[in-house]
């Protein structure tokens, strides 16, 4: 009788074999191509960058600002088949329509998000540190079993947790998120500091409230 480890390993290999890599280009004319994607759990979203610096932000991940000359790509693994919005926080790129969606639904469409984003003056970035995905050289292979960057691994775990927290607080206002002890703490001067994860959730909440 096959051991549990053998069955688990075989199942993992089967999932990996069925996973697709979806290439998405952040173009120099401020749009994602394609901007509407259908993906299944385990698929990899691979963001390429062209022209000036752009970023890609979604629930639980942030690429940082990457230029087309950097030779880098940013990869995110799809955790589920729920609708997921992503956008660039460079200047007013988001407001001008640099928004994309994975697995759009009847209630969550690309056009709806673009309409909401157009009312914002500029994008919001959750700091400067990449988290929740893999920043890699263009042409390299995705391998989530190995990583030389422990911080990146920690960021992915933290990003996943943020995504779960975001779903639980889907109906909360941006101020509710800010006031949550989970995302805020006071420094020695008594000033409240908001974590990068909170900022990502706040921007998503803002789109819903517009």
User: Is residue 97 included in any domain, yes or no?
Assistant: yes
Q: What is the pLDDT of residues 54-72, one digit of tens each?
A: 999 999 999 999 999 999 9
User: Is residue 208 included in any domain, yes or no?
Assistant: no
Low pLDDT (below 70) residues in the chain: 1-17, 142-210
Range of the domain at 80: 17-168
User: Is residue 188 included in any domain, yes or no?
Assistant: no
Helix (H, G, I), strand (E, B) or coil at 57: strand
Q: 0.85 exceeded by the pTM?
A: no
User: Is residue 163 included in any domain, yes or no?
Assistant: yes
pLDDT of residue 123: 82
Domain count of the chain? 1
User: Is residue 186 included in any domain, yes or no?
Assistant: no
Place of tokens 């800010």: 178
pLDDT of residue 68: 92
User: Is residue 2 included in any domain, yes or no?
Assistant: no
User: Is residue 50 included in any domain, yes or no?
Assistant: yes
Enter the tokens of residue 208: 């819903």
Enter the tokens of residue 210: 């517009």
């Amino acid at each position: 009788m096959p051991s549990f480890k053998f069955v688990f390993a075989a199942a993992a290999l089967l999932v990996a074999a069925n996973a697709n890599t979806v290439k998405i280009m952040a173009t120099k004319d401020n749009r994602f191509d394609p901007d509407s994607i259908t993906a299944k759990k385990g698929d990899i979203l691979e963001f390429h960058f062209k022209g000036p610096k752009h970023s890609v932000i979604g629930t639980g991940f942030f690429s940082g600002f990457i230029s087309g000359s950097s030779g880098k790509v940013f990869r995110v693994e799809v955790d589920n088949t729920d609708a997921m919005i992503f956008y660039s926080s460079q200047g007013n790129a988001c407001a001008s329509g640099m928004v994309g969606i994975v697995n759009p639904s009847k209630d969550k469409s690309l056009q709806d998000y673009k309409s909401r984003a157009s009312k914002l003056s500029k994008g919001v970035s959750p700091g400067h540190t990449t988290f929740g995905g893999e920043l890699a050289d263009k042409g390299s292979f995705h391998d989530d079993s190995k990583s030389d960057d422990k911080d990146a691994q920690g960021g992915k775990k933290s990003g996943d947790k943020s995504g779960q927290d975001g779903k639980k607080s889907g109906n909360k206002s941006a101020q509710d998120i800010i006031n949550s002890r989970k995302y805020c703490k006071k420094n020695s001067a008594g000033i409240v500091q908001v974590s990068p994860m909170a900022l990502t959730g706040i921007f998503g909440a803002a789109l819903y409230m517009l």
